[in-house]
Amino acid sequence: MISTALAIQNATAEAVHDEEVMDMASALYHHRSDMTGDEFAKALFQYSAHLSAMTATLVTHACLTESQIGDMLEAIKEMDALGKDITNGNN
């Protein structure tokens, strides 16, 4: 359990310090005065979404085996297909 907590902590730190994430943060900081409020809000949202996705991906890889990740992706695909079938059946 401690090793899992440490793996999650390391994955989160890795996401925050990822070169692309850091480049996005730097660009936001240095170009904030060049953007309108809406542009800055959009850029901030994109940065936040990228960091969140990166963190989720790295934490998933830290907590699950490759086989478990494959099973999870297959379940997601099945749920997506089921949702589309339900939506198409209601039209």
Tell me the pLDDT band of 62, cut-offs 50, 70 and 90. confident
Burial (CB count within 10 angstroms: exposed 0-12, middle 13-18, buried 19+), residue 65: exposed
Asked if residue 75 has pLDDT above 80, the reply is yes
Q: What's the CA gap between 72 and 62, in Å, rounded?
A: 14
pTM of the model: 0.69
Distance of CA 30 to the CA centre of its chain: 24
N-term to C-term CA, the chain: 47
Collapsed DSSP state (helix, strand, coil) of residue 91: coil
8 A C-beta contact, residue 5 and residue 41:
no
Q: For the chain, what is the mean pLDDT?
A: 91
